[in-house]
Amino acid sequence: DLPFNNTGGNVLTDGLGTAFSTCVIYAENKYHGIAAENFLNLNDSLLGFQRYNIISNFEKRGIQHIDCLLKLIDEETILVAEPPEDHELFSVYNDIIEKELSKFKTAYGNPYTIKRIKTARWINERLAAYTNSLILNKTVYVPLFDIPQDAIALATWRDVMPGYTVKGFT
Protein backbone atom coordinates (compact mmCIF):
# COMPACT_ATOMS: atom_id res chain seq x y z
CA ASP A 1 0.00 0.00 0.00
CA LEU A 2 2.99 2.34 -0.20
CA PRO A 3 2.72 5.14 -2.77
CA PHE A 4 6.12 4.19 -4.23
CA ASN A 5 8.11 1.06 -5.16
CA ASN A 6 10.65 -0.54 -2.83
CA THR A 7 11.43 -3.68 -4.74
CA GLY A 8 12.27 -6.72 -2.64
CA GLY A 9 15.93 -7.64 -2.96
CA ASN A 10 16.86 -4.05 -3.70
CA VAL A 11 16.21 -2.57 -0.26
CA LEU A 12 18.39 -3.41 2.73
CA THR A 13 18.01 -1.67 6.08
CA ASP A 14 19.93 -1.62 9.34
CA GLY A 15 16.77 -1.12 11.42
CA LEU A 16 18.16 2.23 12.62
CA GLY A 17 16.90 4.53 9.86
CA THR A 18 19.42 3.63 7.15
CA ALA A 19 18.54 1.93 3.86
CA PHE A 20 20.58 0.84 0.83
CA SER A 21 19.44 0.30 -2.77
CA THR A 22 20.91 0.47 -6.24
CA CYS A 23 20.06 3.32 -8.58
CA VAL A 24 17.54 1.16 -10.44
CA ILE A 25 15.10 2.03 -7.66
CA TYR A 26 14.97 5.59 -8.99
CA ALA A 27 14.15 4.33 -12.50
CA GLU A 28 11.42 2.03 -11.17
CA ASN A 29 9.81 4.91 -9.30
CA LYS A 30 10.28 7.42 -12.13
CA TYR A 31 8.36 5.02 -14.38
CA HIS A 32 5.43 5.38 -11.95
CA GLY A 33 5.75 9.17 -11.71
CA ILE A 34 7.73 9.37 -8.46
CA ALA A 35 10.74 11.69 -8.70
CA ALA A 36 13.92 10.83 -6.78
CA GLU A 37 13.48 13.60 -4.17
CA ASN A 38 9.85 12.63 -3.57
CA PHE A 39 10.88 8.96 -3.27
CA LEU A 40 13.45 9.83 -0.58
CA ASN A 41 11.00 12.08 1.29
CA LEU A 42 8.31 9.37 1.26
CA ASN A 43 10.77 6.76 2.54
CA ASP A 44 11.74 9.08 5.37
CA SER A 45 8.20 10.07 6.36
CA LEU A 46 6.55 6.64 5.93
CA LEU A 47 9.37 4.19 6.71
CA GLY A 48 11.77 6.26 8.80
CA PHE A 49 14.73 5.97 6.41
CA GLN A 50 16.57 9.20 7.23
CA ARG A 51 19.69 7.95 5.44
CA TYR A 52 18.97 6.29 2.11
CA ASN A 53 22.20 5.22 0.41
CA ILE A 54 21.74 4.76 -3.32
CA ILE A 55 24.66 3.09 -5.07
CA SER A 56 25.60 2.89 -8.74
CA ASN A 57 24.65 0.02 -10.97
CA PHE A 58 27.09 -2.84 -10.42
CA GLU A 59 25.93 -5.13 -13.25
CA LYS A 60 26.06 -4.99 -17.03
CA ARG A 61 22.99 -7.20 -17.18
CA GLY A 62 20.71 -8.55 -14.52
CA ILE A 63 18.22 -7.29 -11.98
CA GLN A 64 20.55 -4.83 -10.21
CA HIS A 65 19.35 -5.90 -6.77
CA ILE A 66 21.67 -4.76 -4.03
CA ASP A 67 21.49 -8.11 -2.22
CA CYS A 68 23.46 -9.65 -5.10
CA LEU A 69 26.32 -7.23 -4.35
CA LEU A 70 26.31 -6.78 -0.59
CA LYS A 71 24.72 -7.72 2.71
CA LEU A 72 24.46 -5.73 5.94
CA ILE A 73 26.01 -7.89 8.65
CA ASP A 74 25.08 -5.46 11.39
CA GLU A 75 24.50 -1.73 11.63
CA GLU A 76 28.20 -1.00 11.05
CA THR A 77 29.45 -3.85 8.85
CA ILE A 78 28.88 -4.55 5.15
CA LEU A 79 29.87 -7.77 3.39
CA VAL A 80 30.62 -7.06 -0.29
CA ALA A 81 31.15 -9.55 -3.10
CA GLU A 82 34.62 -9.70 -4.62
CA PRO A 83 34.76 -10.99 -8.21
CA PRO A 84 37.87 -12.69 -9.57
CA GLU A 85 40.48 -10.12 -10.65
CA ASP A 86 40.10 -11.10 -14.31
CA HIS A 87 36.31 -10.61 -14.30
CA GLU A 88 34.89 -7.58 -16.15
CA LEU A 89 33.14 -6.37 -12.97
CA PHE A 90 36.14 -6.53 -10.63
CA SER A 91 36.96 -2.82 -11.00
CA VAL A 92 33.27 -1.84 -10.89
CA TYR A 93 32.83 -3.49 -7.48
CA ASN A 94 36.04 -1.98 -6.16
CA ASP A 95 35.04 1.49 -7.42
CA ILE A 96 31.72 1.21 -5.58
CA ILE A 97 33.58 0.40 -2.37
CA GLU A 98 36.15 3.17 -2.82
CA LYS A 99 33.91 5.94 -4.17
CA GLU A 100 30.60 5.18 -2.49
CA LEU A 101 30.45 2.68 0.37
CA SER A 102 33.60 4.02 2.05
CA LYS A 103 31.99 7.47 2.20
CA PHE A 104 28.68 6.39 3.77
CA LYS A 105 28.24 6.78 7.53
CA THR A 106 26.51 4.43 9.94
CA ALA A 107 23.63 5.51 12.15
CA TYR A 108 26.34 6.32 14.72
CA GLY A 109 28.26 8.57 12.32
CA ASN A 110 31.12 6.11 11.78
CA PRO A 111 32.43 4.78 8.49
CA TYR A 112 31.28 1.24 7.71
CA THR A 113 33.56 -1.72 8.23
CA ILE A 114 33.71 -3.39 4.84
CA LYS A 115 34.43 -7.10 4.58
CA ARG A 116 34.75 -9.06 1.33
CA ILE A 117 33.42 -12.41 0.20
CA LYS A 118 35.12 -13.90 -2.82
CA THR A 119 32.77 -14.95 -5.57
CA ALA A 120 33.32 -16.87 -8.77
CA ARG A 121 31.83 -17.48 -12.17
CA TRP A 122 29.10 -20.08 -12.18
CA ILE A 123 27.49 -19.78 -15.63
CA ASN A 124 29.64 -18.06 -18.24
CA GLU A 125 30.43 -14.65 -16.74
CA ARG A 126 27.61 -14.65 -14.17
CA LEU A 127 28.82 -14.39 -10.59
CA ALA A 128 27.67 -16.53 -7.69
CA ALA A 129 25.68 -14.20 -5.42
CA TYR A 130 26.66 -15.41 -1.95
CA THR A 131 25.41 -12.16 -0.41
CA ASN A 132 21.85 -12.95 -1.58
CA SER A 133 21.37 -14.69 1.74
CA LEU A 134 18.91 -14.72 4.61
CA ILE A 135 19.84 -14.12 8.24
CA LEU A 136 17.12 -15.47 10.50
CA ASN A 137 17.12 -16.58 14.15
CA LYS A 138 20.91 -16.94 14.48
CA THR A 139 21.10 -18.87 11.18
CA VAL A 140 22.52 -17.64 7.88
CA TYR A 141 21.10 -19.32 4.78
CA VAL A 142 23.59 -18.96 1.93
CA PRO A 143 22.82 -19.80 -1.71
CA LEU A 144 25.13 -22.37 -3.28
CA PHE A 145 25.97 -22.74 -6.96
CA ASP A 146 27.56 -26.20 -7.16
CA ILE A 147 31.02 -24.75 -7.78
CA PRO A 148 34.25 -25.15 -5.75
CA GLN A 149 33.91 -21.56 -4.44
CA ASP A 150 30.83 -22.60 -2.42
CA ALA A 151 32.96 -24.06 0.39
CA ILE A 152 35.06 -20.89 0.62
CA ALA A 153 31.92 -18.75 0.72
CA LEU A 154 30.47 -20.77 3.60
CA ALA A 155 33.76 -20.44 5.49
CA THR A 156 33.71 -16.67 4.94
CA TRP A 157 30.18 -16.43 6.28
CA ARG A 158 31.23 -18.41 9.37
CA ASP A 159 34.11 -15.98 9.91
CA VAL A 160 31.95 -12.83 9.63
CA MET A 161 29.04 -14.27 11.66
CA PRO A 162 30.56 -15.98 14.70
CA GLY A 163 27.95 -17.58 16.91
CA TYR A 164 25.59 -18.11 13.96
CA THR A 165 24.82 -21.37 12.20
CA VAL A 166 25.67 -21.08 8.50
CA LYS A 167 23.75 -23.33 6.14
CA GLY A 168 24.13 -23.58 2.38
CA PHE A 169 21.27 -24.35 0.01
CA THR A 170 21.03 -24.94 -3.72
pLDDT, one tens digit per residue, over 85-134 is 999 999 999 999 999 999 999 999 999 999 999 999 999 999 999 999 99
Residues 165-170 have a mean pLDDT of 96
What is the pTM assigned to this prediction?
0.95
Residue 23 CA to residue 135 CA, distance in Å, equals 24
Give the angle subtended at the CA of 106 by the CAs of 132 and 160, to the nearest 5°.
45
Q: Which DSSP helix (H) or strand (E) runs through 164?
A: none
**pLDDT averaged over every residue in the chain:** 96
DSSP string, 4-59: S---TTS-EE-SSSEEEEETHHHHHHHHTT--HHHHHHHIIIII--SEEEEE----
Is residue 132 within 8 A of residue 67, CB to CB? The reply is yes
Is residue 138 within 8 A of residue 130, CB to CB? The reply is no
